[in-house]
Structure 1
Amino acid sequence: MIVFTGWDFGCLGNQATKLKQKNIYYRLQVDLEEERIKKQAASLTPWRKVALYSLRILLFVVALGLIGAAFFGIFKATDFSQKHMEQPGFLGLLIEFLPSIVITAGNFLVPLLCDQIALIEKYSPSVTVVMALLRAVVLRLVSLGILLFTLWSQITCSGNAEASACQQCRYDHEKYPCWETRVGQEMYKLMLFDLLVNIALLVLVEFPRRIVVDNWSCKLSQLVGRQEFVVPSNVLGLVYGQTVVWAGALFCPLLPLMNTIKFVILFYCKKITLFHNCRPALKTFRSTTSTFFFLVVLLFGWTLALVVMIYSLAVIKPSMACGPFRFFPSMWKIVPNSFYSLSKVTQDFLFFVGSQAFSIPLFALSCVIMCYFVALASIYGKSVEMLKAQLKLEGQDKQFLVKQIERIKQQHLMPALSAEVQD
């Protein structure tokens, strides 16, 4: 079914054809591997099933412990950095960059350990990829949340407005005279360290590894092999970078531009390492499932950034020493003030846009348009299914014709053989 319905007859050239062949091969490999694992799981005895599930629970707890240890390290590193950031010299610089270093190291080391744990859990290939991605997503997004939570706890005196440091300005104005700048600096550091780690891996790990594997014929180098280019982890890195931009754009407006430059640099670095240093990944995965998963992860990242923005706009008092909001009790206060400074006509128009007389018809129109596109997608889906069924029938017709040709050949050969035997 995959062979007859999965082929793209618009493929032109040897390279496109080979890529499509490999894609079909990987899909078949995933299906066969999953069927093998299902049969193996069905043939297990009850005691073996208990042992397998116990092993998975134990390894899940171990992976959860690693992620929890990373979270605790990030919390302690951020707390220590904020309390000792006035140290002079190189030590002070190291302490100032300590949270970013710990987060980057955790995002690099913990997924590697979790990947080794996943090899022992004996899940199917697709489940293994999803489990690895889930752990990496939780690690990356929650680590960013812990960093921001720790910063806010230090800035707002853990929410205690009656504390001596926060009693006057509702934030620790002595340690953080411009707390927005401090949060923006942490976002810059995360982006910078992510870029530096990727470049360092290319120069110090992947390139020397390729040289050793290609030029040394010892068993160890051949066993290690070239670096695998795993698509899900690389896409997850992009999602993490985008989440950092969303969370920090309020505090550092140039962060999206710098992140764009970072993505351009990373694109060419990944391109170089893909074509020269890496080999295809041995673990196969379903691209459709992964695509949906990445969209969900991107939604979670956007939600995290939205929570950060809402809390910063509505709860924390802006810095009184700097920034465009220093004369307002909250950042959001500038919105109604700016609204009431508009002309009467503009205010009436905006009030009408926010009223029920406009929103209810707009909602009804949106529902109609959505139903139309849903029906259109359903029709297209049925058309695709019909075309797949037609391709399958055409494949069966070809097999039938081949059998008929073979049968006719045999019928023509039989009289000739009989005549030769009689002679």
Structure 2
Amino acid sequence: MGLKKAVWYTRIIFLQKFTRVNFLIFTLPIFRVTFGLKKNSSFCSYFSSQMFCLFSLSSSRQVQQMRVPVVSSSWNIKQSQTFRRFCEVVKYILSYFVLWKRGIQRIGGHFGGGVQSYFLFLRFLVILNFLSSLLIAAFVLIPSIVFRSMNLNSTIAPTEICLQYDPKPGVLPVFYTYFLDLVSGTGFMEYSYLFYGYYNNSVIESNSFSYNIPLAYLITLTSLANRMGDTARLVVVTGGGAVGGYSMLVFTGWDHGLQGNRATKLKQNNLRHRLQVDLEEERLKKKSASLTLGQTVSLYTLRVFLNLVVLILIGATFYGIAKATQFSQSMNPTGFMGLLLQYLPSMVITASNFVVPLLCDKIALLEKYSPSTTVILALLRAVFLRLVSLGVLLYTLWEQITCKGDISNENCKPCHYYYDQYKCWETRVGQEMYKLTLFDFLITIATLILVEFPRRIVVDHCSCKLTQLVGRQEFLVAPNVLALVYSQTVVWTGALFCPLLPFINTIKFILFYYCKKITLFQNCQPATRNFRSTTSNFFFLLVLLFGWALSSVVLLYSVAKIHPSYGCGPFRLNSAMWDVVPGAVKMLNHTSEEFLFYIVQKEQREPQQPQRETKPLNHTATQWNQHYNYAFEPDEEPRPY
């Protein structure tokens, strides 16, 4: 439209100028006759040439002025189009670097979106743990290695009775002891960067640089679980939802950028699986709506009874875990028997996590829910079992470490914790989390080699009725997702006591992907009952938040309530781990301290308070301690702002 207007304006101006020039040409003979000028005189030539020059210059100037906005807008449009094409090219190039993109697409095409959602969730956790490992390495591990190489002496607590902690083996190590130490986290593994007890409380101070290892350790490893929980919460808020009907799937489900027969067939299979899920959900809804009153009452009675059975199974599991933990911590044998007793809680938890969810899955099939509801219900029951079993283990450990909260007990009175049995209790908790992580990985590999592959071989080469009735296994999404949630919860809980646990979990999840992919294509058959993947993705992350909540409770209790060990770790001088924060604030200069106090005071101010008279800020470390109820002595008099 702008170009057309410019053309019309140019025509109008040309006509106006042409009329003016014609008028001058017609009046030129009158001037020539009146003043007696000759036809070819210099004045006539000069007059005519000047008129045409003025016409051409004024016309071109006005046309150029009108073309400037058009050219400018056209240039902006071209630049935006070029930038958009550049972004599309960059996005297309980066798509080749997406982790496991082609493999996950192939899984979705062969086994549906439900199974594909498991592998997408696994990829999300791999990236989450990898980024966490980078943070720990940057702020805790590398500074600790550098400071230890500088031969800095860490400060020792004055209480001599609680300082005896020497985990280094006193005998000549052999391969057998190396293996036991590797799988149990003791010996040479105990006094290494893997566990809490190896880190010291060094503080580097100079005129231009200061670094506090205890503060960096606490802030990094406590904020880690919080930030990962924020990421999961964000995905839950933005990722929930269901497919909006058949029309949405039919008219908007196809990807028109697909190229090649392989990608097209995979997308067709994926859409077919999703349509089957929707049709199955609709059929079950119609069936449940057509039930009579007697059938409805009998169905709900059956569901109540089955829920009671599930609660009894879960309660028995919790009792067994508590007893196994108490027995394991009370015995101190050596050798292979000691290794078995150390792994007794892990074995009981793993066995219960394997058996009870299978029973819950069979019970959920009897309740006659829709496929998506069945998966979600089994997921909630299994996550309750796994997470609360982990909570029972930790609660039993806390009871023994703190003498059931009775500080006046003879065992806990000298050191404020059970020193005789737990000389470095943080490392002991880290060892339990390490053993849970390692044992879960070993059980997964053993199940793949000793159960899943032999089952497929027997079914393929044996034609008896029993083997054909059993058939190939199906990839059960709910138990596999719960295994990931359980592993991630163990990492969040144990990262404070075993800082390298996120790195170990990253390697573990990467191996999980390839093991699960192999068993999926080699040993499994497509599921007979599919379920909607969008709803499942939402519940996967919601269940992950349950694990994050449990780990947050454990971390808060450990940081604020339990006395740190005197003989190990970066908090050996503090009465609680959190005390390092006001201690670090106390070491700030006056301006930074007043600014920080002003921020805290502003956040805690009542929103509807009347305007008060502004006074100069005059707060010292004593007022910080009174504000947060910490018993520190003032080191100086109040200073004016």
Task: Place the TM-score, normalised by the shorter chain, in its bin.
Answer: 0.7 to 0.9
Question: Is it true that 1:21 corresponds to 2:268 in the alignment?
Answer: yes
Q: Give secondary structure in 2 for the equivalent of 1:99.
A: helix
Change (3 A) 1:13 1:55: same
1:261 to 507, 522, 525: 507
* Partner residue, 1:32: 279
Question: Is it true that 1:125 corresponds to 2:367 in the alignment?
Answer: no
* Partner residue, 1:343: 589
- Pick 1 or 2: higher relative contact order, CA cutoff 8 A, min separation 6: 2
Contact 1:141 1:240 in 2 (8 A): yes
* Partner residue, 1:61: 308
Change (3 A) 1:91 1:256: same
Contact 2:357 2:479 in 1 (8 A): no
Distance 1:21 1:143 in 2: 42
Q: 243-252 vs 338-347, which deviates more? A: 338-347
Distance 1:193 1:359 in 2: 50
Correspondences of 1:381-420 after superposition (within 5 Å): none
* Partner residue, 2:175: none
Question: Is it true that 1:189 corresponds to 2:435 in the alignment?
Answer: yes
Counterpart residue identity of residue 152, structure 1: W
Larger radius of gyration: 2
String of CA shifts for 1:137-190, please: whole Å, max 9, x gaps: 111111111111110011111111122211222211111111111100100010
Counterpart residue identity of residue 7, structure 1: W
* Partner residue, 1:6: 253
Correspondences of 1:261-300 after superposition (within 5 Å): 261-300=507-546
2:293 to 40, 46, 51: 46
Distance 1:73 1:177 in 2: 27
Contact 2:452 2:519 in 1 (8 A): yes
Distance 2:544 2:597 in 1: 33
Contact 1:156 1:171 in 2 (8 A): yes
Q: Give secondary structure in 2 for the equivalent of 1:116.
A: helix
Contact 2:437 2:490 in 1 (8 A): yes
- Deviation for aligned residue 1:279: 2.0
* Partner residue, 2:337: 91
- Deviation for aligned residue 1:355: 4.8
* Partner residue, 2:32: none
* Partner residue, 2:555: 309
Across the aligned residues of Structure 1 and Structure 2, the Cα RMSD in angstroms comes to 2.1
Q: TM-score, normalised by structure 2?
A: 0.54
Q: 167-176 vs 214-223, which deviates more? A: 214-223
Distance 2:260 2:362 in 1: 39
Distance 1:322 1:275 in 2: 49
Q: 37-46 vs 237-246, which deviates more? A: 37-46
Change (3 A) 1:358 1:349: farther
Q: How many residue pairs were aligned?
A: 360
Contact 1:353 1:359 in 2 (8 A): no
* Partner residue, 2:572: 326
Distance 1:359 1:4 in 2: 54
Contact 1:125 1:283 in 2 (8 A): yes
Distance 2:529 2:377 in 1: 13
Distance 2:252 2:472 in 1: 34
Q: Give secondary structure in 1 for the equivalent of 2:404.
A: helix
Counterpart residue identity of residue 188, structure 1: Y
Distance 2:369 2:272 in 1: 21
Q: Which runs of 5+ in 2 are unaligned?
A: 1-246, 607-641
Among all aligned residue pairs of Structure 1 and Structure 2, give the percentage whose two residues are the same amino acid: 64
* Partner residue, 2:351: 105
Q: TM-score, normalised by structure 1?
A: 0.80
Q: Give secondary structure in 2 for the equivalent of 1:329.
A: coil
Contact 1:206 1:277 in 2 (8 A): yes
* Partner residue, 2:74: none
Counterpart residue identity of residue 39, structure 1: K
* Partner residue, 2:383: 137
String of CA shifts for 1:247-289, please: whole Å, max 9, x gaps: 0000011111111121122222112212222222223111111
Counterpart residue identity of residue 154, structure 1: Q
Contact 2:422 2:428 in 1 (8 A): yes
* Partner residue, 2:633: none
Contact 1:352 1:358 in 2 (8 A): no
Distance 2:284 2:531 in 1: 15
* Greater fraction of residues in helix: 1
* Partner residue, 1:174: 420
